Structure 1
Amino acid sequence: MQMKALWWKLVILGGVTLLLLLVLLRIGWLVDERQDRQRAAEASVAAAQAGPQVLLGPMLQRSCSEEWESVSGTGKDITKTPERRDFVLSAVPAELKVDGTLNQEQRERGLFKVNGYVGEVALQAQWASLGALIPVAEHKGKLSCEDPRVMVAVSDARGLRAVAVKRGAQALTVRPGTGHDSYPHGLHAQLPDQALDQPLTLSFAIHLVGMTDFGIVPAASATQVKLRSDWPHPSFGGRFLPMSKRIDERGFEAQWQVTELATTAPRDVLAGFSLPGVERDPDAGRAYAPNPAPGREGKSGIVADTLAFSMIDPVNPYVMSDRAIKYGLLFIVLTFVSVGLLELLSGRRVHPVQYLLVGLAMTLFFLLLLSLSEHLSFALSYALAAGAAIGLLTFYGTAMLGAVRRGLGFGALVTVLYAALFVLLNLEKAALLVGTSLLFAVLAAVMALTRRIDWYAPNGRTAEQPEEEAIGTW
């Protein structure tokens, strides 16, 4: 009869666990909803000011045309038709040096914070030869060309606060737009009286504003990039990691060096491929970026390579809450095991409704953690939510188990579980090891404490113990 009651209790506890699982799923949907609202806040800031920036250039362009006459027919029927071909010649630098300082400038949309940056980016580009800008007549016609121009493209031109371009000591007039079909957003400057048989050096000073992500396309034969910021938690993306970097509480400094032997960016740019986005760490959140524009002549390719970083919050409250909820079911099962073990050792019967109330207190911890973390730091939010849950469970456990000592012991077990969960959330690489070790330790403890129990005997007493001894007073 007692075995039948035990099995019915286990079935009811299984139903309670499924009910709590549904509660956890609903809280998980709420976390997803808040993450979507965070992304909507990013999109709103990007629409109102400036979004993530990817910088391409400088690159030289020269618009040319060829005029000729095509002849058709013979004798008296001969016909001459004027023809014209318009084309653009382009040249990427032989050497490109980038030196930039982009410090954080946080923006807010309601409860949501969006990381932005503002600063100066200095470019120095050198062309050893401008032979690529000399046109060749394909139809033996008359060639005419405009003065060369230099262009710099960005993802969002609204982030260009101020730009200065110099050819040697000569300041050039900066105009909006690039004149390039594939990269319409940016700036250009004409290069009047530029000799095509001489090397060229241009320098740029760009005051730039952007949001979260920044990248540079290494469209040169040799590219050197040096970036610094006061943001202490960068996530380096793109196709190349920095050759050297320094990261501390004051910020970071990183250096890249890429040659055309290692990147297809110069060829991609000359082919008119679209600007890429910045590949962000997937655990830190999806990058916001507009859809790339189609490339020249309908090409839909995207420039493959960037040198990039993202201003990622290492303790994103929604990412951390989502990770915590993934451990939620295991967390509740371990708590039920603890209650069942105390019930077995103490001889105090615990009703399934009491299990349900304990489980609800555990699940509400995750909702409390989510709501607090939107206003406070994650560590403080976790401490407050865990403290509230531990206090409630200890208070309730005292009445549920019939003794203050047992209630305090139950509270201590719950405290260990919360501490273990916090360790799991903060140890990305060792999370599996720590979690497995915790489960093994719990199983070992249960097996050690119940090793003398005769599960076929009434009230769980051992074969060697009388009933009153087996129940005891824990």
Structure 2
Amino acid sequence: MEHQTINKNDNNKFSTWLKNSITARMAMMGLLILLLMIPLTLIQKLIKEREYRQQGVIEDINDGWGNSILVYGPILKVPYKTYEETVKYDAETNNTFKEKRTIVKYAFFFPKSLNFDTNVKASPKKRNNFESAVFTTTIATSGSFDIPDFSSKSIAPENIVWEKATLLIKTTNLKGLKSEVALNINGNTYGFETNFSVTNSYKNSLDELESSFIALKDVPTTSEQAFNFSLQYNGSESIKFIPIGKVTDVKMVSDWNDPSHIGNFITQNENATEDGGFEANWRILNTNRPFSQQSFNTLPNLNEFAFGTKFIIPLDEYQKSERAAKYGFLVIGLTFLVFFLIQTLSNINIHPFQYLMIGIALVMFYTLLISISEHSSFLKAYFIAGVAVIVMITLYSKSILRYWKFPLFIGVSLTALYGFIFVIIQLESYALLVGSVGLFVILGLVMFVSRKIDWGFDADQPKGFNENQSQLDTDTPVNS
């Protein structure tokens, strides 16, 4: 009986301490917030899993429609002869002799001028709840070849096989190519076929298209030769070029309103069009890039010098949900802080279990947001999930705080907090600035509201302590 009485007294002391000690309530809140980080972390992992699934669906959409485009060319390919002498031994005559062998190699010459005039019609393409940016494009190409220069390799004119010269075009996304490739030079048209000997099986690898032999009169042996051709693609994600011209000019016009220009070279200028799209121009000189206008034996890998435009959907539903979930710690912490201030200022007791229920309701916001956004827009999902959680917590607060004054204040505070986070999620360039200013304002409000809280330090001061006396007077002698 005595043992039960002691336990009961201990429990009463603990409850009284938890009820009356601000430090205890703060510690309890901190532990609950840490505990709620576990389901919040699991929700963030769930968002990642759904996002990976979305990427898989987008890849399927792009594979069916057409992948990203990287194109450069035409390149003049001219064979030339070199000779190799080897010394051989004849066992029958016991003599050595020289054997001369002809080896055919190739020289590759880039255009003197190269112009890409690109028109892009882009649109979002959906499958189930997932969305990708796809487009159709026409790339009108023109330019000219200068007279090839073999002098750097000391190749004699009679060893150049002009009659077997061809043209090359390097490109990705052959599956998305929707037009015959036909190049016009000097009034004659040359078709192209895939060079299977160098074709790579990777999705975004560069395939090689090669023309038939060019008529000798169309080869720039004595004077500059102009050319033009056009390519039509179904594509997705991006369009990129490699500046192989001595002067490369690219013009791109599109109705897509969220372009992202990528690569090693920036636009010379960019303007918005009347339909909400853009018009961008690039000009790259041979002095702007670290490779020459010709290559002998093999073509170098020039992919790192690509530039162009990526057609992006700025923030999809999962990216927005992920950004919202990253503010989960802030939402839970600030909501608990509001309840803590109300509890401290009004002397209304709130049990740790009630804090836990409020925290779980705040976590449920994100599961509602993810599930609803998969079947609707992010705005509708955010609104529905936000209203549901705010109403639930407000009504639950009424049962805890008794009067409507405090629950209504909590509802308004949560509405302002969720609205503030929604604004941050929508912003891109100014998200950090707006978030920092908002948190500064919130900190100022908390400091203002909490300035009159009695933190209980006076109770810990020793009896007889004079608050007007900053230190003991050590110079006063002690009476014996």
Cα distance between partner residues in 2 of 1:129 and 1:91: 9
Larger radius of gyration: 2
Cα distance between partner residues in 1 of 2:443 and 2:206: 63
Query: Does structure 1 retain, via aligned residues, the 8 Å contact 2:80–2:159?
Result: no
Is 1:189–2:208 an aligned residue pair? no
Alignment counterpart, residue 237 of structure 2, candidates 200, 212, 236: 212
1:117-163 CA deviation, whole Å, 9 max, x = no partner? Answer: 1121000021122335998559x996656521111111221121113
Give TM-score, length-normalised by structure 2: 0.81
Aligned residue runs from structure 1 range 386-465, under 5 A: 386-456=386-456
Structure 2 equivalent of residue 10 of structure 1: 26
Cα distance between partner residues in 1 of 2:295 and 2:439: 53
Aligned positions, number: 431
Q: Which amino acid aligns with 2:54?
A: Q
With over 3 angstroms needed to count, the CA separation of the structure-2 counterparts of 1:415 and 1:50, relative to structure 1, is same
Q: Report deviation, 1:448.
A: 2.1
Q: Report deviation, 1:180.
A: 5.8
1:395-449 CA deviation, whole Å, 9 max, x = no partner? Answer: 2222222122221111001111111111222333333333333333233222322
Structure 1 equivalent of residue 355 of structure 2: 355
Query: Does structure 2 retain, via aligned residues, the 8 Å contact 1:224–1:256?
Result: yes
Q: Which runs of 5+ in 1 are unaligned?
A: 275-301, 460-474
Query: Does structure 2 retain, via aligned residues, the 8 Å contact 1:91–1:133?
Result: no
RMSD of the alignment, in Å?
3.0
Structure 2 equivalent of residue 238 of structure 1: 263
Is 1:37–2:63 an aligned residue pair? no
With over 3 angstroms needed to count, the CA separation of the structure-2 counterparts of 1:239 and 1:395, relative to structure 1, is same
Structure 1 equivalent of residue 336 of structure 2: 336
With over 3 angstroms needed to count, the CA separation of the structure-2 counterparts of 1:107 and 1:433, relative to structure 1, is closer
Structure 1 equivalent of residue 147 of structure 2: 129
Aligned residue runs from structure 1 range 267-282, under 5 A: 272-274=299-301
Q: Which amino acid aligns with 2:283?
A: Q
Query: Does structure 2 retain, via aligned residues, the 8 Å contact 1:89–1:135?
Result: no
Q: Report deviation, 1:214.
A: 1.2
With over 3 angstroms needed to count, the CA separation of the structure-2 counterparts of 1:331 and 1:21, relative to structure 1, is same
Alignment counterpart, residue 69 of structure 2, candidates 53, 56, 74: 53
With over 3 angstroms needed to count, the CA separation of the structure-2 counterparts of 1:304 and 1:457, relative to structure 1, is closer
Structure 2 equivalent of residue 468 of structure 1: none
Q: Does the residue aligned with 1:70 lie in a helix, a strand or coil?
A: strand
Alignment counterpart, residue 259 of structure 1, candidates 244, 261, 285: 285
Q: How many percent identity over aligned positions? A: 26
With over 3 angstroms needed to count, the CA separation of the structure-2 counterparts of 1:19 and 1:272, relative to structure 1, is farther
Q: Which runs of 5+ in 2 are unaligned?
A: 1-12, 460-480
Q: Does the residue aligned with 1:376 lie in a helix, a strand or coil?
A: coil
Q: Which amino acid aligns with 2:49?
A: E
1:204-263 CA deviation, whole Å, 9 max, x = no partner? Answer: 110112111111111111110001111111111111121111236531111111101112
1:62-107 CA deviation, whole Å, 9 max, x = no partner? Answer: 2334355534579961323342323111000111011011111444
Structure 2 equivalent of residue 117 of structure 1: 135
Alignment counterpart, residue 171 of structure 2, candidates 154, 164, 186: 154
Q: Which amino acid aligns with 2:276?
A: R
Cα distance between partner residues in 1 of 2:367 and 2:339: 23
Give TM-score, length-normalised by structure 1: 0.82
Q: Which amino acid aligns with 1:228?
A: V
Q: Which amino acid aligns with 2:107?
A: L
Cα distance between partner residues in 2 of 1:184 and 1:44: 20
Is 1:27–2:36 an aligned residue pair? no
Cα distance between partner residues in 2 of 1:400 and 1:367: 25
Is 1:87–2:105 an aligned residue pair? yes
Query: Does structure 2 retain, via aligned residues, the 8 Å contact 1:361–1:393?
Result: yes
Q: Report deviation, 1:362.
A: 1.5
Cα distance between partner residues in 2 of 1:175 and 1:134: 31
Q: Which amino acid aligns with 1:77?
A: N
Cα distance between partner residues in 2 of 1:311 and 1:108: 15
Cα distance between partner residues in 1 of 2:328 and 2:375: 22
